[in-house]
Structure 1
Amino acid sequence: MEYVSGYTCTICNKKFEKNYQHLVCDECHDIGILDVNYDYQSMKKEINKEYFKNNHNYSMFRYHKLMTIKNQNFNKMLKVGWTPLYKSYNLSKKLDIDNLYFKDEGLNPTASLKDRASAVAVLKAIEEGKDTICCSSTGNAASSLAGNAAKMGIKSVIFVPKRAPLGKLSQLVIYGSKVFKVDGDYKKTYEISKEAINKYKFYNRNAAINPHLVEGKKTVIYEVMEQLNFESLDYVFVSVGDGCTIGSVYKGLYDLFKLDLIKKIPKIVGVQSSGCSPFYNAWLNSEPLKETEENTIADSIAVGIPRNPVKGLNAVLKTGGYYMTVTDDEILDAMSILGENEGLFGEPAGVTALSGLLKAKKLNKITKTDKIAIIVTGNGLKDPKSIESKVSKIHKIKNDIKELQKHIKNNEVKK
């Protein structure tokens, strides 16, 4: 917290002191999402490349001085962060892109990027003396909260929509969370979580409302840039639901730029499913976000009413990037392409960003010399049902080598 200088409302631009106790603007209320401000000039005196060379905490908490958390309890937490950044050799060759990288967030403790936000939520709850944390979620935020809360001995109350995948619900049960499946979509789920938080005074882990969680999520791009030795990128592709992750990526890049750790901020490309694309529609038509349907296989980004519209749009607008949409079929294809070429298994929402890159390449928006990072936000094992159609195509044979030879001869199995 030492370098936090205050907060700014993203709607009315009202300023607040660093000791401000509320999560949203006192005038704009729930739509008045706050942005955290830092004293970069003071921070620069300590935070530089040498600082990172001498920092041996290889988790997201190596960046705690660039966040809003106090320096305590890190050694008790699950090991969140410092996930691998893989350089592509196979897919990059097929796409004719010289420098393509995948950030594998599926290797976080509960298998998604959301662990970064939940870890911060748990620490902030402890700072405020809360014993219960609550959120609404399509799955990943819920499972990450349940796991991180359990590790620190804090109770979690979680509301999920009826479509939440079994893999993610299984995590909630195993982590001991109190789970309520709401008969409705994410909008209804969010509304009841809000009422519960207000009534029972739970700590609010809903990422779009809580400005501290952006400060946790932004560490993913800190790691990407540090793992690239702070060398410049041209593009970062991000899957987008409520706008928190893409907003966090921009915030992290902005921090690094203000600290003179990177020379330029890359263009950010936000990718949504065509079945749920409020950000794309708003960007395309230069208009405020409007509610859309939540009709996509990528449940983790199926958010019809994003709660973080300003940060989600600014990430693209301020970097000269763009929004795009892909179909569910294109998302499923991207899952196979990533697995077959890079050995990475991403869930539908996790590979939506890659699906966007594949489409952008076909549209000649990407060149051979562009240096690109793609954030794979979650592991495919969290939603195995999404690939049932592919599993059903597995070859079935009798225990007979001749039958195998027949399959191979008919080119049903690649030699």
Structure 2
Amino acid sequence: MGDFIGYRCSICQAEYPPTQVMYTCPKDGGNLDVVLDIKHLKQKYHTSDITSRTEASLWRYLPLLPVPFPHAEGTTLGAAGYTPIYKPQKLAERLGMTRLWVKDESRNPTASFKDRASAIVVARAIQIGAPVVVTASTGNAGAALAGMAAAVGQKAVILAPRSAPPAKVAQLLVYGAQVILVDGNYDEAFDLAIQAAQEFGWYCRNTGYNPFTLEGKKTAAFEIWDQLQLANTTAVGRPLTVFVSVGDGNIISGIHKGFKDLEELGWLGQMPRLIGVQAQGSAAVAHAFHAGSEIIEPVQAQTIADSISVDLPRDGVRAVRAARQTGGTYITVSDAEILTAIADLGQVGIFAEPAGATAMAGLKKALVDGVVKPDDPVLVMNTGSGLKDVRAAMQAVHAAPVIEPSMEALKKHLAG
């Protein structure tokens, strides 16, 4: 466990001790950053103290995390993170690229990036003795909380929009969480979860509200640094560019936080460039970025990518800064482009849900627009499994033909 010394507001920079606040800044409602004692960590650890660890999970980076390991060896809580990075050569060739990687978050225990945040939040809930953890979710965050909570016997309540994909709702129920479908959108479920936490004394996991969600998501940056050996790079040449799908903004903000922690420690050779990708029908953060603003105006979100369909991103300010402060940008893509990207990834053995494929769709557009060059080093985040939304996956491909069970019928089909 790292040295957790307090919180800092991302808006007004006010600082608070660990026991004074729990969620957002009392002064302006800004999201809080967890502050670690970087000076002490620099004195105590070197890069080899981290990279030599053998844990194949996010707990590999325990010295840089603000929670203790919750003694859950052999459970899914202890297995979150440390997902593989692939180098899909055929896809790179089709795109005309020389250095392309895909980090596949579908390999997490509940098949999405959100396991990272939930593992840390559940560990925090155990640490503070919370009786119940509640969250709003379109599916993935809820499934992650339900799965991580089930691993350690923590009670969880999930508020999901009734429009959530059935496969995601099924996960929530199978993990044994108390699932309540809300006859409204994600933003309405979000507000209700906060009210319930206040009313019943529950611990709220809401993304872009609970500071510890960011601490889980930053571990993806640690893994990119670790797995691609970014500590050994120099400032000569182009930095790594990371493409991230963006909904509420917490994933790209978390990855940025992870790289900033490494930079403060003096362990990062060069800050990667972060490019956020949003669906055109849910692009509040992209609109603010391109307007040169940090004021996030709500939209009427409508996209096939349910995991990033958000009217009012709750971590929009930090999401704008993640791209702006790293020399990145925001790209928007259509639902049709997202569906094509699902097929692109599938052809190299990676099954992505729409939100996961959004980042790949953004890379393809960035190549056409000259935002990245073919020889730039690029990593694309796939944030979730296609099994989460099979209905969308079927729209990305042609339906399988049906033939009679005879060789004649098979030959006829193959011939023509």
Instruction: Sort the TM-score into its range (normalised by shorter chain).
Output: over 0.9
What whole-Å deviation, never above 9, does each CA across 1:200-222 have from its counterpart, x for those lacking one? 11111112111111011110121
Matches within 5 A, 1:52-71: 52-71=50-69
Alignment match, 1:321: 328
Matches within 5 A, 1:119-158: 119-158=119-158
Output aligned runs, 1:180-219, within 5 Å.
Answer: 180-219=180-219
Partner of residue 41, structure 1:
39
CA distance in 1, matches of 2:412, 2:74: 57
What is the TM-score of this pair, normalised by structure 1? 0.94
Does the 8 A contact of 2:249 with 2:314 survive in 1?
Answer: yes
Deviates further, 220-229 or 237-246: 220-229
Instruction: Report matched runs for 1:14-93 at 5 Å.
Output: 14-28=14-28, 31-75=29-73, 77-78=75-76, 79-93=79-93
Structure 2 equivalent of residue 304 of structure 1? 311
Which residue identity does 1:39 align to in structure 2?
Answer: D
Residue 178 of structure 1 corresponds to: 178
Name the amino acid aligned to 1:388. M
Counterpart in the other structure of 2:111: 111
- Identity rate, percent: 37
Q: Is the 8 A contact 2:277 2:330 kept in 1?
A: yes
Name the structure 1 match of 2:375: 369
What does residue 413 of structure 1 align with? Answer: none
Is the 1:76–1:152 Cα contact (8 Å) retained in structure 2?
Answer: no
Determine the C-alpha separation between the residues in 2 that align with 1:98 and 1:34: 39
- CA distance in structure 2 between the aligned counterparts of 1:49 and 1:20, rounded to whole angstroms: 32
Over the aligned positions, Cα root-mean-square deviation in angstroms equals: 1.5
Distance in 1, matches of 2:248 and 2:257, equals 15
Tell me, in whole angstroms, the C-alpha distance in 1 between the residues paired with 2:45 and 2:80: 21
What is the letter of the counterpart of residue 379 of structure 1? S
One-letter amino acid matched to 1:381: L
Q: Distance in 2 between matches of 1:51 and 1:352?
A: 35
State the partner residue of 2:98: 98
Partner of 1:12 in structure 2? 12
Task: Name structure 2 gaps, 5 residues minimum.
Answer: 234-238
Amino acid at match of 1:385: R
The normalised TM-score by structure 2 is 0.94
Count of aligned pairs between the two proteins: 407
Q: Distance in 2 between matches of 1:268 and 1:207?
A: 20
* Structure 1 CA distance for aligned equivalents of residues 272 and 154 of structure 2: 38
Structure 1 consecutive aligned stretches of length 4 or more whose deviation exceeds 6 Å: none
1:299-339 Cα distance to aligned partner (Å, 9 max, x none): 00001101112211110110010001001110010000001
Task: Name the structure 1 match of 2:229.
Answer: 229
Per the TM alignment, residue 43 of structure 1 is displaced from its structure 2 partner at its CA by: 1.1
Residue 397 (structure 1) aligned to one of 393, 397, 403: 403
Query: Aligned to 2:413, which of 399, 407, 410?
Result: 407
Determine the structure 2 residue equivalent to 1:386: 392
- 2:291 pairs with 1:293: no
